[in-house]
Amino acid sequence: MTVDFKKYIASVQDFPNKGIVFRDITPILSDGEIFRAATHELAEYAKKRGADVIVGPEARGFIVGCPVATELGVGFVPARKPHKLPREVERASYDLEYGSNSLEMHKDAIKPGQKVVICDDLMATAGTLHAAIELIERLGGEVVGAAFYVELPDLKGREKLPNVDIFSLVQYH
């Protein structure tokens, strides 16, 4: 099925702050066929990259990444906001298009040498992606790709991470 995913993304002016156009992907999720199609596209990409495991940053990376992992029959590892994971963690901080935050992963979540594809809903400045890569590499994993529903190329995320293979379903300029 060839899908025009932009038909299922709502653009919201001045959310959460004035001057930001928020790309809301929830209409993809609420349509079973479209959610499955989006998941399938990301899963095909992750398979092609040889993913052993999917990492998804909290919170929308859980929604996007979990079905990709189950379609491929590989594991899913959450990268969480601080103080959520109960065991020993690694932490990395990052800046967002608006604001900043940190991500944590359990120290034993990735086995050394595992090939990882990171999944999330949207790449803006690539701050979240940068933090996730730092964590995965500290744990001994190899990031073989990153897959998104939406990319905002004008924020130049790819240029900040020239060595990372990046896939996105749609782009907004």
**What are the catalytic residues?**
60, 97
Residue from 58, 71, 97, 142 in contact with ligand HPA (CB under 6 A): 97
| 117/122 with CB nearer ligand HPA | 122
CA distances from 41 to 38, 44, 56, 152, 162 (A): 5, 5, 16, 19, 23
Residues 6+ apart with CB under 8 A from 59: none
Question: At CB < 8 A and 24+ separation, what contacts does 163-167 make?
Answer: 164/129, 164/133, 165/49, 166/123, 167/42, 167/45
Q: Is 23 a binder of ligand HPA (CB under 6 A)? A: yes
| 97/137 with CB nearer ligand HPA | 97
Do the Cβ atoms of 142 and 162 come closer than 8 Å?
no
Distance CA(170)–CA(173), nearest Å, equals 10
| 70/102 with CB nearer ligand HPA | 102
- Contacts with ligand HPA, 39-78, as mask; x by CB under 6 A: ----------------------------------------
Q: Is 95 a binder of ligand HPA (CB under 6 A)? A: no
Q: Scanning residues 121 to 140, which ones bind ligand HPA (CB under 6 A)?
A: 122, 124
- Interface positions with ligand HPA (CB under 6 A): 22-23, 97, 122, 124
